[in-house]
Amino acid sequence: MISEDKIVTAYREHAREILIYLNRLTGSAEVSEDILHDAFANLVEYSKQKQVDNIRAFLYRTAHNLALNHIRKNKRLTSIDSHDDRAIFCSDDSTARIEKEELECRIYDILRDTDEDTRSFFVLRKENGLSVEEIADITGKSSRTIRRKLKNITEYMHTILEKEGFFNN
């Protein structure tokens, strides 16, 4: 069984990044926190039977699967919680901050309309900075599939955002 010290260390090191990932995936801070806690509970239960070699990968994969189950169960993404970290942008009324917030909102609107895997890959890569190989370990998908989906969504977003005037090219 995993020691309490390892669990505390894992929570300190990985909880915030996984929570950010879950917030982007589910659109709800409360649901994300519940899923995060469930992922840690699953870690404890799983470790009673088998050794967990990569705690971070286990937590991401578990959180990912729990989030997808939640999304499928509700068959839609909830609206972005008003306590979302993007609200920080609203406190400064500078044009650059407002434009950045609008762009970010539009990106997540586009992502909301994509399939769950693509959304998950994008958030893990762009926001959490994980490599394609790390994403493959977490999601159980092939690196080739992940690269293809990331390329497709990036090109699709660029086309839409360019048409909507977000780029001056």
Residue pair 83/29 in contact by the 8 Å Cβ criterion = yes
Q: Where residue 120 sits, what CATH number does that domain have?
A: 1.10.10.10
For the chain, the domain total comes to 2
Q: What is the pTM of this model?
A: 0.67
Is-contact 33 19, C-beta < 8 A? yes
Q: For residue range 36-55, what is the model confidence (pLDDT) as tens digits?
A: 999 999 999 999 999 999 99
Does the residue 26 lie in any domain? yes
Domain co-membership, 107 together with 159 = yes
pLDDT in tens, 121-152: 999 998 888 999 999 998 899 999 999 999 99
- 21 in a structural domain: yes
For residue 18, is it within any domain?
Answer: yes
- Which 3 state secondary structure label does DSSP give 160? helix
Structural domain includes residue 105: yes
Kindly indicate the confidence band of residue 105, based on its pLDDT and cuts at 50, 70 and 90. Answer: confident
What's the mean per-residue pLDDT of the chain?
Answer: 84
- Per-residue pLDDT band for 95 (boundaries 50, 70, 90) equals low
Name the domain boundary from 80, 114, 149: 80
